[in-house]
Every structure is written in C-alpha cells, then in structure tokens.
Chain A
Amino acid sequence: MTNDGNSVRFDRRTLLKAGAALGALPLAAPFVQVARAADTIKIGVDNPLTGTYAALGKNEATGMAMAVDEINAKGGILGRKVELAIEDSTSGDAGVAVQKARKLIDRDQVSFIIGNINSALAQAIANVANEKGVIHVVPGGHTDSITGQNCHWNVFRVCNTTQTEANAVAGSVIKSAGKKWYYLTPDYAFGHTLQAGMESAAAKLGGTKVGADLTPLGTTDFSSYLIKAQAANPDAIIILQQGDDGVNVLKQAVQFGLDKKFHLAGAQLELEVLLGLPPEARVGTWVFEWYWNQPNVTGLKEFVAETRKRTGGHVPTARTWFGYASIHTCALAAAQANSLDAVKMAKALQGFKLPPEIALMPDGAYYRAGQNQLIPNLYVGHPQAQGKDDPEDLFVVDQVVKGDDVSPTLEETMCKQDWPA
C-alpha cells in the first residue's frame, strides 16, 4: 500500500480480504438479550432474527410472546414467572447457533431451549441440548432426521417432518396435474429430505421424476433452472424452495408463463411467501401446516384477534402458531410432570395431547411417543390471488388431512431414543 498524501491506494490483498469480509457479512449479527429476575423460569430462544429467515423468526417470536403472557396470566410455570431469553441464531450459521445455545444453557441457565427455523441449525442445537440434558422444542425446522435418525429423548418438534408434508400433498398433485414431475430443490438438508419424501410419496402412486435441479440457497435468478424444467416437459414443476427463494422462483416461473403450460406445485407453502408474491403468482397445489381461517375450531378466533392486536392487524401464520405451541409445550410439560426435571418432563410429553385451545386445529395434535414428533392436521389446497373478506386470506383449504394418515410409521422414521438411565 502506498500513501501519497491525498489518496491511498489499496492493494489486491486488501480487496480480497474485503471480499472475504463481505461474504461474512450475513453471519455477523448483533444479539439481543432479555434481562431477568432470579426466581423466574427462563426459556431460551435460539432462532433467526436477521437474514433470510428474519420474517419467519419474527412471526414465531410473536407467537412465543403471546404464549408467555398467557402462561404468566395463569400463574406461570409451577408458580414461577416465565421469561424468554432471546438470541439471534442468524439464518444460516450453525456455529453461531451452537454458541448461542451453549450460552443460553450454561450462562443463562434456561430450563428449556427453543429453535430453529433452519433445519441444519435445529439439528445442531438439538445435539447441544441433548448433551446438556435440556428439553429442546423445535418450532419450525422440518428435516426428517430431527425426529428420525438423529432423534433424541429431549428433543420435541412442533412442525411436521418433510416426509409427512410430502405424503399429504402428493396425491392431490398427481390427481390435478399428472405423474411426471420435475423438481426444483434448495440445496440443503431440508430440500434434500423434502425431495426424497416427494419422490417416495409419488412413487407409491405411480409418479415419476423426469428431472431435478439443486439450487444453491439464496439463489436470486432462477431462469436457468426454469429453462431446463420447461425443456423436460413435465406434468408438474415441483417447487420446494422456501422463504425469499420461494418468492423469487414462483414470481419468475409465472413471469415466464410456466403456470399456463405446466402445473406448479410443491409441498410446504407458507403465508409469508404468498404475501410476498404479486397476485398473479399465487398459484399451484400445496400443503399448509396451519391456517388461520378454519371453521369451528375452539379458541381460534381469540388467537387471531390477539395476533392482530400485536402485529398491527396482521393475521397469524403457521409460524406464529409454531412459536405459540412451542412455548406452551414447555409449560405443559412442567405442569404435567410437576417438576422441572428434564427426564420427567420428557416422559410426561410422550403421547401427550395438546389442549384444543392450544392445538387450534379440527382434530387436535399430540406428541407421538417414542419419536417426540407432534402429529397435527395438515391443510392441502391452493392459493387465491386476492382474499375475499380479508386481504390476508390467501389460501383455500381443499382438504384437511389427519396427521396420523400421512405420517411415516415409527419404524419408518428410524428414530431410536437413548434415554438416560
């Protein structure tokens, strides 16, 4: 580097270092911490507040805060007030998530830990929680292994497995579109298992794969993949991207007119994605894990009204409910076991059915024994361009599926729990 007074010339090394730092930009993130009193029960939240999953994380946080207020209004957990200790896990850095999990458990002494939206981060946190023997509730990371091959006695999951989602929607796609599918799959744990799930669900019904592309997470331009998909001439293009990637791929597919030539479909779709799409791109056949506009569900109206109050008029999404159900799961476990002992609480949750005002779905939801996976209703349907009575009523439920009918059996999940002696 030379310094000639008025100007300093940086050298190539500086430029390259700068590039490396720029690449690290999304990883560095400030953390948030809630101060607390000594006699409270702390629930650690290790979930994204920044990055790709910030919007989903925020909605889960809204649900969690609602649950905490409800629990405290009824006297807290075992008579003690509940507080959240919230950390930003980032959206994609497992290292940060693990570090935050250790901090929450070791320094903040939390009795429960919640997280994560990103499947890979959820699995990483689960391993830490298992090592420390702390109850861990995964609100919204879907990859199968969390309550499958890598399941733990202390790890409970509210959202569905990818295989369950695939089983729920596959029949509808085959019926409405046809049997030849082309997959567009995000290239990480969640995408891989979701595609595998869709393939096996389709195979049972005679469906075939005519092609598949793995797209890097954070892809903005999907045109090259869409060109390939079109060339393969499938009956349906199965879009498995989520979040911002999901918005981008759907928006571009519809701009290219592919929704008029093929059927666009996928497994999981979220209200957050529909809200980010222009009306003409709200198309396809999908499964929702929870929906705010269901008839005759106990407590739902109150839940929607309370969410609107807290979010400036927005309706709850599946994420809001995931956060809500996760925190209530902790309180219910303690109440059921009448103890904060992790093993006792985990035992109390085996086969435990959530009360209707917390399950907020027609057939209720329970934690399957031996797997710790919540078995809820799933909602197969299609988006609508504009909500009729409410601008955020963007999904039409065609069929409410029972989780028991589409969940893989306990043997199929390959979950083997290793309980402490």
Chain B
Amino acid sequence: MTQLLLLAVINGLIVGAFYALMAIGLSLIMSLSDVINFAHGGFLAVGAYLAYSMAPYLGFWGGLIVAPILTALLGLLVERFLISRVYGRDPLYSLLLTFGLAFIFEDVTRYIWGAQSLPYQVPGWLMAPLSLDLFFLTGYRVFMIALIVLVVGALFWVMTRTRLGLRIRAGTLDLETVSVLGVNVRVLRNLNFGIGIFLAGLAGVLAAGQLGLTPTIGSSLIMQSFVAIIIGGLGSLTGTLLGGLLIGLAMNVTAVFLPSATEAVIYVMMALVLLVRPQGLLGEEGRF
C-alpha cells in the first residue's frame, strides 16, 4: 500500500504538471483580458490536429514546434478580430463569444478530420518505460515533464525579467494606469492572448501523444484546468501551477482508495477552497 501510494504521488505530479500547462495559458488570458476563454479546449484540439497533419512532412519534432506556433497565430487573429471587440463590456459578451467559438472549433475539427479518433505516433524510442519498477515513467512522460518545466520556467522568466512580462503583470493589477502610462494595451492583450494559446497548442500536441485524437479532446481536458485556476487563485501563475499539481495529486491518490471518485474529488477540493479561502490558495485578496 505504501508503495502504491508513493507511485500514485509521483504519477500525480506528472499528470498535474500537464493540467498546469493548460491552466497557465487559460489563467494568463483570464488575468489580463478578463475573458474566460471557453474556446481554450478548442485551440488545444487545433494544436493537436495540426501536429497530426504535419507529422508526415515535419515529423514529430517539427510538429511539436510548428503546430503550437500556428495555433498561437490563429489565437492572435481570433483575439484581434473577435475577442478584442467585447473588451470592456459585460463579461457575458465574452462568455457567449468564446462559448460559441468552442462549439465552432469542435465542429470544424470534426468536419475536417472526422469524428473517428486518429492515432498520433510519437517516436518509438520515446515510448519505452525507463525502468521495470517505475514502468509508468516512459521516456515520453519524462520528456513531457522536462518540456513543461522548460516552458513554464521560460514563461516565469519572461514575466519577471522582461519588459513585456512586467507590463502584463502590471496590467493584470491595474490596466487603466498601465494604459495611461503609454503602454499600448491593445497590443499587450493581443500578445498575451497569443502566449496563452501557444501553451494550449503545445498542451494539445503533448496530449495527442498519450490520447487518441478526437474532436472532443479539448473539452475532455478543459474542466481540470478551470478547476486548477480556481484552486490556485486567479491572477497568480504560481497559484495556477500549484493548483494543477494539486488536482493531479488528488486524482491519483483518490484512485488508490476510491477509483470511481477520481473525477468528483477535484470538485470537492474546489468547493472546499471556495468555502475556506475564496480567492484561491495564492490568489490576490480583493481581486474577487
């Protein structure tokens, strides 16, 4: 039992890191643009399917780099021409807009690539387990974690060390003042949205290596990121990271004792956090 628990903890952190990657993109957009991006899962699916279609030409590695970039470009366009038009209005507008986009993304992917799930192949040498005892540590999962650490590390570096990051963080706190100080808020929000969608696209390609590619791949993964943000606290990237890891852990430890409750447990956690510390574990007081 102890060994099983230990394995569940390690595995939970791996799974949690993946949820965190998705949630951080969603959280970035939520914090600066005040848009709850329902279409995030749709962008994730687009990233995954683009990588699938490019695989014959660019291989796995090419797809891993190019697909998230293309997804981010699509994100920039969607922000520029659709989402930016509802900034400053009642949040209901952006909710309805991204809600509709989520449907459109799912149906368009189904139309283009079909409803039948498709196999997405990662290089064979990445697939093998690294050791017999820790058989769930496949090369692919280790690679996934390394990449997530790298990307999230780079994101934190951008946020704390560069002018763009400084402005995004400042905008998250007080967009009006940032705007008055001469920062082009429109461009800032556009770039920020693009970064968020890049992370969604990357999460999509990584997910495709482990799951079958289906038009619903985004909607099946998006709830976890949403819960991770609420648990971690809005406006705090560290909080979102923590939230993602926590739900991964909770789901895996629950699987040891009460497997059928793995899905329910994250909502119980969310409810508890909302009762005890409504702003989330690391969320700013007063943001809500």
Stretch at the interface among A2-10, A148-156, A363-371, A395-403: A2-10
B residues apposed to A, CB below 8 Å: 3-4, 7-8, 11-12, 14-15, 34, 36, 38, 87-91, 95, 99, 102-103, 106, 110, 114-121, 127-129, 135-136, 138, 140, 175-176, 179, 185, 207, 210-216, 219-223, 226-227, 230, 234, 251-252, 255-256, 259-260, 262-264, 274, 278, 287-288
B12 to chain A, nearest CB (A): 8
How many A residues touch the partner, as a band?
35 or more
Q: Taking the complex as formed, is A305 at the interface, i.e. its CB lies under 8 A from any CB of chain B?
A: no
Interface of B is mostly: helix
How distant is A169 from chain B, measured CB to nearest CB, in Å? 23
Complex formed: what's the CA distance from A277 to B117 in Å? 8
- List the interface of chain A (C-beta within 8 A of B): 1, 3-12, 14-16, 18-19, 21-23, 25-26, 50-52, 54-55, 57-58, 187, 213-216, 218-221, 223-228, 230-231, 243-244, 247-248, 251-252, 255-258, 272-273, 275-281
A6-B88, A8-B88, A255-B140 known; A227 vs B119 contact (CB < 8 Å): no
A58: chain B residues within 8 A (beta carbon): 115-116
Are B99 and A25 in touch, CB under 8 angstroms? yes
Nearest CB on B from A117, distance (A): 12
**CA of A213 to CA of B287, assembled, Å:** 41
Q: Across the interface, do B99 and A21 meet the contact criterion of CB distance under 8 Å?
A: yes
Which chain A positions have C-beta within 8 A of B11?
223-224, 227
Secondary structure type dominating chain A contacts: helix
CB distance from A55 to the nearest CB of B (A): 4
List 20 additional contacts besides A54-B115, A224-B8, A224-B252; criterion CB under 8 Å: A7-B176, A8-B89, A14-B36, A18-B38, A26-B219, A52-B216, A55-B115, A58-B115, A213-B259, A215-B262, A220-B210, A224-B11, A248-B210, A251-B210, A256-B135, A256-B138, A257-B135, A275-B117, A276-B116, A276-B118
Q: Are B220 and A257 in contact (CB under 8 A)?
A: no
Query: Which residue from B14, B212, B255, B274 sits with its C-beta under 8 Å from A276?
Result: B212
Q: Is B259 within 8 A of A225, CB to CB?
A: yes
Q: Name the residue of chain B whose CB is nearest to the CB of A4.
A: B176
Of all chain A residues, which has the CB nearest B185?
A6
B135: chain A residues within 8 A (beta carbon): 230, 256-258
Most buried by B among A58, A226, A248, A281: A248
In the complex, which residue of chain B has the Cβ closest to the Cβ of A212?
Answer: B259
| Contact between chains at A227 and B7 (CB < 8 Å) | yes
Contact B212–A22 (Cβ < 8 Å): no
Asked if residues A220 and B34 are in contact (CB atoms below 8 Å), the reply is no
B212 contacts A251, C-beta separation under 8 Å: yes
Contacts of B213 in A (CB 8 A): 276
Min CB distance B57 to A, Å, is: 19
> Which partner residue on chain A sits nearest B227 by CB separation?
A19
- By beta carbon, the residue of chain B nearest A276 is B117
Task: State in angstroms the CA–CA spacing of A22 and B226 once bound together.
Answer: 9
Q: Whole-angstrom distance between the alpha carbons of A272 and B214 in the complex?
A: 12
Across-interface contacts of A277 in B (CB, < 8 A):
119, 212
The residue of chain B having its C-beta at the shortest distance from the C-beta of A232 within the complex is B4
Contact B211 A8 (CB under 8 A): no
**A213–B110 CB distance below 8 A:** no
